[in-house]
Structure 1
Amino acid sequence: MKFPLSLILCTMLSSTVFSQQFDYGKINYEDQLIDRNTIDSSANAVVIQEYGTSRMFLNDDGRINLLFKYHVKLKIFNKDGFRHANIVIPAYKGENHEEYISEIRASTYNYNAGVFEETMMDKKAIFTEQRSKYIELTKFTLPNLKDGSIIEYSYELLSPNIFNYKSWDFQSDIPKISSEYQVNIPAVYNYNVVLRGPYKLTDQKVERDNECMRLMGAKIDCSKISYIMKKIPAFIEEDFMTAASNFKSAVYFELSDSQRPDGSKQSFTKTWKDVDYELKSAKEFGGQMKRKDLYKDIIPNIIKDSPTDLAKAKAIYGYIKKQLKWNNYYGINTEGNLKAVMDNRTGNVADLNLSLIAALSAADLDAEAVILSTREKGLVNKLFSVITEFNYVVAKVNIGSESYLLDATEPLLPFGLLPLRCINDQGRVINLKKPSYWIDLKASQKSTTSYILAGTLGRDGKIKGTITTHSLGYDAFMKRQEIKKYNSIAEYVEKLDEKMTNLSIQKEEILNVDSLDNILTEKYEIEFSVHDLTNADQLYLNPFFINRISKNPFNLSERTYPIDLGTANDERIVINITLPEKYELLEKPKDLGIALPNGGGKYVLQTTLNNDILTITQLKQLSKSIYQAEEYPYLKEFFNKIIQNQKTDLLLKRAK
């Protein structure tokens, strides 16, 4: 739900719900009586009350700052809930834009002999951690925790960032009884307000706060708005999702415009035409895209053996990945200039990928930039043109009728495949000569792996044979990453052998580890026992020893957000075992063929015994990269059936 603050002010909603502000240290007997079975029987903790306020004020140097105050009271039900007493508060620490945490108070209350005993946190327990170049974390843990403890803490955050007014998450990973956020916004500022998530506000209050501040000698009124939500279910994160912020119930603010002292308005919500101009003229973005002169002397040597434009692009892509190393920092702007990047051979995402664009342009290839928001950051709000919502940039090269998206940060990525972190809805293409436009960010390849086991059962009860694995797409990329963690192929295989407790690797051959455009092939000569000769007439064998699914990745009773795999998946397993003599197949897992609705995928299992050769074939396909929330029950049941069937062993009996 999206609406301008001005609309709220016009409606001036009345409310029967009173402010949920509460005094620190006032613990009630009713707090002690809270029973999780009446709220959420699976919860290990619950927020009893949560209250926050934000207001603007003029600091001593005449600049407008934002003061955010937070106060919360929780009940811890058991030891599994103790983690909610480990508090982490992030603060941004950028150039000319520093946030500060202060006024921290924290207490634990335990009910004993009819009274609450308070244990106050020692200030020495507070420490800071520099998480990244721009983020500092303030951390503390509340003391004297027990089953049934009530904890309370509060703090203040001072920020110069008034463009993105402090947001508020109504949902967290534990349920909340009451959550309220009150904002005081001067009338000269107009914000777009976005309510996100599945749950609606319980109530909302709007009041006028007369003469709340003075700007350039003028008295300014404020709008005091309270957003209230009660009985809020926990938001449970599960595998295969993008940023939780895309789906949690929360309220966000974005500055639209402000009124100057002369009565005119300054607009902050920009059009894409404005953003295009800003990016193209920025020294750290458009200025670096234009630096093809840096590569004009070395490009001829890079592409000398490349007869086509596609071959040239691949050669340049390989060169940049080899020459430049990513420093693990994101950003759409370079940290320096590309000449320094070339000299130092390292840089952030923008340094590497704008270098790639400049190099492609130097070869007279049509190269563009694509700015995007990564999966963990969240979806971009496409109603408004806000540069700060983007945290990543990749290259796009157009060859004939085809376009390829490239990211030089990952040396093991093949040409045209983006890291999964970039597969997040849409990105904005920035062209130095044309207006920008949206592009879908989809995986260009699916994850594909096939396993073929050809083995022979000996009279000693051992199966000897070869497992051959072929990997493509993201499966191959992740496997190459795993292999490269080790000093050698032999070391990798040694660790792999240790993990396979029932199977021994005798010999290995791994092909195309560095040939990224080819199929990654692994061949292992293996040996494992299926019986110890004590009863060779009967043979039990579980055929699901390759990538067995032991746990359902989908366990929620209901999921309110999409299942985002990032890419479609295809896995095939074929097992052929030659038996030493005639056997009968007495028991086997049920031959199975199940399909997801709307062409979403399928699973097929078949077991046969013909001419002393036991054959087990499996096919598991997830044909879509994204499944909607309403498809969740089908996916859950799909995996349940597979897991249940894989619990059954084969029973072979020697024929008489």
Structure 2
Amino acid sequence: MKTLVLCVLVVIVPLISNAQEKYSEEYGKVTQHEISMTEYVPDPEAEAVVIYEIGTNYFQGDDNRGFLLHKERRTKIKVLKAAGTEYAKIEIPFYTDSRNGESVIDIEATVYNLENGKPTKTNLDPKKIFEEKIDNDLSVKKIALPDVREGSVIEFKYHIITPFFFNMGTWAFQKKIPVIHSQLIYKAIPYYEYTYIMRGTKEFHEFDSVTKNHDIHFGSLLYQEKIYTFGMKDLPAFRDEEFISAEEDYMISINFQVSKIYFASGSSQNYISTWPALCDDFLKKDNFGKYIKNSEKEGKKLLPTLNLDSKSQLDQTIEITQYVKSMYKWNDVNNKFAEDKLSDFLKSKSGNSANINLYLIGLLKAANINVNPLVLSTRNHGGVSKSHPFQQFLNYVIAQVEIDGKTYFIDATEPLRYFDELPTRCTNVEALVVKPKNEEWVITTQKEVARTSKAFKVKINPDQQTLDINIKYTLSGQDAYQFRNIYEGKDDNLVNYFKKNNNVNIEDSLITNDYKELNKPFSFSFQSSTGFEKASDKLFISPFCNLSVSENIFKQETRTLPIDLIYLRNADYTSEVEIPKGYKVEYLPKELKHDSRLMSIKYSTKVTDNKIEVTAGYFFNTNLYDAKDYARLKYSYAEIIKQFSDMIVFVKE
């Protein structure tokens, strides 16, 4: 028995730290509480919790490459539910410039589990570290941790060495799971001055700065470090994921950007600029301003072939935009700078968003259209801090055209949108007008309401217990774009869509208008048949044939952030239901008319001769709501689902 006890102690002592300690931030140690906890009391729904995440950023001299930035990170996570195993999928992105890239070193990871009441420890096998190339400049290290399951504690660390210190990167204190402690230590040296930008909070739980009384030598330099500590504790999980522009705008984080460099000679160089200076810089760059000028030269040769002379400026703009959309393909990469030379882009007929939109701007200039580039941050890239003029905040460029006092915002990356219908990634964001020595901001606006109209004609066959249905969809705005993308000129695409998403079989020819007539609504109609519920002498008929809204788009229990729907939404339904011979109406859904500052809802029925006419619809009165409106929106949408799915009941006469 004594021998057995000794063996157990040999296993436990290295793994479990002081039992009185609730959480440990010593790497390689887990506490009894960490290994045995089954829920995180402040958030019982959490699938996992970050026990700690600690980063240390510092500079170190390299005889061949000068100062290099070192970023060390170590993290411990407790997996509480099966879904929490997702947080054991560790990915470390790094840049792989062929001459001066980043290095990822010292990767370690351990998984702790309880087996029959005893703790076990499994270390990462270095063979389970994989590297994947994302593009020419970016790669990612992927770590496959062993034996991760509900109840596991995972701990890992790594070290990045980088020459790219202008943007030190973002330290995200908050996650989609709770965080008990997150801390960043930055060891500043007197040669690089940074501006840091806080998001999601006005102050840190921990902040300290102290000059380390220790001289450091590098070449002829002698300096001391100033150590900054930023920390946050007991952060809740970030769950306001739906209907926001970018999570990074609201999650607690800190971002560092170089603002000034001091040289050993005593001189210095400012890197924090002004927006007018950045506009000038954009216009001087080969892959922005000069690219536009070269495109304008190409346009002088191209435009005579497009027969534009007799057309108005607006029609010329539409024609030129359509030409670019039809001739050049977007490679799904967002950028404010062209990635290829103009000659290469024209030859390959493919490029990033800047290749396409800067070329469009050049052609419009060649046609003497009043056009300027607009640089912006796409919705998922995060908002722009206008008090911090850094190019890194901006990742996209579109065209702004002024004709007869009216402004048009144009993006040419998506051929199935009308000429001035912006992609949702560029809608309702602030954009900088790029003019010499200029700081002018505009908000990119939505062109039209996203509208779906559904019309049904329903014939009931009581004996066969089937419905013969004629269905017509008419769509505008974003709704039209979504269905044009699904359709792409192939009937089978819509057939498969309705079968998969609505369990509706299209049984007769699909009839559509020309889906490439982008200035008109997209419409299509088809025949279908389905069964219905019948009980004794009663028939239960859904007037909208299970094609009304069925799932609440507002899924959260509570909301702390504004609700951003991006675009206005409107849906209309009409249905004509024939009253079958030998039957009479026993029940009609109640009428509903609701108008508020949030939304409008309508539902009415009318019996005329041998048919029932049902009219319904809803309309969101804005695309941006306060957080306090969330509960009412959720309730109203639930009422729409309930009302629109209510059935007409027929009974035998």
* Length-normalised TM-score, structure 2: 0.91
1:145 alignment partner, SS class:
coil
Q: Percent identity?
A: 26
Residue by residue over 1:518-558, the C-alpha shift from the partner in whole angstroms, topping out at 9 and shown as x without a partner, is 111112133333367x84x4210133435433332223232
1:379-427 superposed Cα distances (whole Å, 9 cap, x missing partner) = 1111121112211111222211112111111111101111111125211
Determine if contact 1:303/1:312 at 8 Å carries over to the other structure.
Answer: no
Q: Structure 1, residues 224-261: CA drift from partner, whole Å, max 9, x if none?
A: 11112111111125332222111101112222223333
Q: Quick check: 336-345 or 177-186, which moved more?
A: 336-345
What SS class does the counterpart of residue 98 from structure 1 fall into?
coil
Question: 2: CA distance between counterparts of 1:117 and 1:288?
Answer: 60
1:449 aligned onto 2:447? no
Separation in structure 2 between the aligned mates of residue 410 and residue 244 of structure 1, nearest angstrom: 25
Aligned to 1:414: 418
Q: Which runs of 5+ in 1 are unaligned?
A: 1-19
Equivalences for 1:380-529 in 2 at 5 Å? 380-431=384-435, 435-458=438-461, 460=463, 461-484=465-488, 488-496=489-497, 498-499=499-500, 500-501=502-503, 503-529=505-531
- Alignment-mate amino acid for residue 443 of structure 2: D
How far apart, in 2, do the equivalents of 1:199 and 1:304 lie?
55
Kept in 2: contact 1:190–1:257 (CA 8 A): yes
Q: Structure 1 residues 246 and 274, CA, compared in 2 at 3 Å: closer, same or farther?
A: same
Offset of 1:594 from its aligned partner? Answer: 3.4
Q: Secondary structure at the match of 1:479?
A: helix
The aligned counterpart of 1:606 is: 604
Residue ranges of structure 2 left out of the alignment (5+ in a row): 1-22
CA offset digits 1:13-67 (Å, max 9, x no partner)? xxxxxxx993321112132243425131111111112211111122222422211
Is contact 1:294-1:339 (8 Å) kept?
Answer: no
Cα 1:92–1:588 change in 2 (3 A) is farther
Contact 1:289 1:357 in 2 (8 A): yes
Distance 1:245 1:506, change over 3 A: same
Q: Deviations over 1:497-522 (max 9, x none)?
A: 53353554322210020111111111
- SS of alignment partner, residue 184 of structure 2: strand
Secondary structure in structure 2 of the residue aligned to 1:450: strand
Match of 1:54 among 53, 57, 60: 57
Q: Which amino acid aligns with 2:609?
A: N
Q: Which residue of 2 aligns with 1:12?
A: none
Q: Secondary structure at the match of 1:296?
A: helix
For 2:74, the aligned partner's letter is H
Q: Give the aligned partner of residue 89 of structure 1.
A: 92
* Structure 1 segments (4+ residues) deviating >6 Å: none
Range 354-363 or range 547-556, more displaced: 547-556
Partner in structure 1 of residue 573 of structure 2: 573
C-alpha separation between the residues in 1 aligned to 2:546 and 2:100? 52
Q: 1:106 to 1:371 in 2, by over 3 A?
A: same
Distance 1:186 1:510 in 2: 66
1:576 to 1:311, Cα distance in 2 relative to 1, 3 A? same
Q: Could you say if the C-alpha distance between residues 571 and 60 of structure 1 is closer, same or farther in structure 2, counting changes exceeding 3 Å?
A: same
**2:142 maps to 1:144:** no
Separation of aligned partners in 1, 2:645 and 2:577: 20
Instruction: Quote the Cα distance in structure 2 between the aligned partners of 1:583 and 1:491.
Output: 38
Q: Work out the CA distance in 2 between the residues paired with 1:113 and 1:526.
A: 58
Give the direction of change, closer, same or farther, for the CA distance of 1:212–1:32 in structure 2 (3 Å limit).
farther
Which of 346, 352, 358 is matched with 1:348 structurally?
352
Q: Following the alignment from structure 2 to structure 1, what is the Cα–Cα distance between the partners of residues 402 and 200?
A: 38
For 1:647 and 1:448, how far apart are their aligned partners in 2? 20
- Counterparts of 1:360 and 1:635, CA distance in 2: 43
In the other structure, the counterpart of 1:360 is 364
CA deviation vs aligned residue, 1:199-234 (integer Å, no higher than 9, x gap): 852222221123464466232222211112111111
CA distance in 1, matches of 2:589, 2:74: 56
Distance of 1:546 and 1:567 partners within structure 2: 25
* 624, 627, 646: which one aligns with 1:629: 627
CA contact (8 A) 2:486 2:494 kept: no
- CA distance in structure 2 between the partners assigned to 1:57 and 1:68 by the alignment: 11
Count matched residues.
628
Map of 2:292 onto structure 1: 289
Cα distance in 2 for residues equivalent to 1:470 and 1:570: 12
Query: Residue 338 of structure 1: CA displacement?
Result: 1.8
SS at match of 1:38: coil
- Aligned-pair CA distance for 1:604: 1.8
Distance 1:376 1:33, change over 3 A: same
1:538: which partner in 2? 538
TM-score, scaled to structure 1: 0.90
| Cα offsets for 1:609-652 (capped at 9, x unmatched) | 33232122221111222223232222222222223445543222
User: Counterpart amino acid of 2:637?
Assistant: F
Q: 1:186·1:212 contact (CA, 8 Å) conserved in 2? A: no
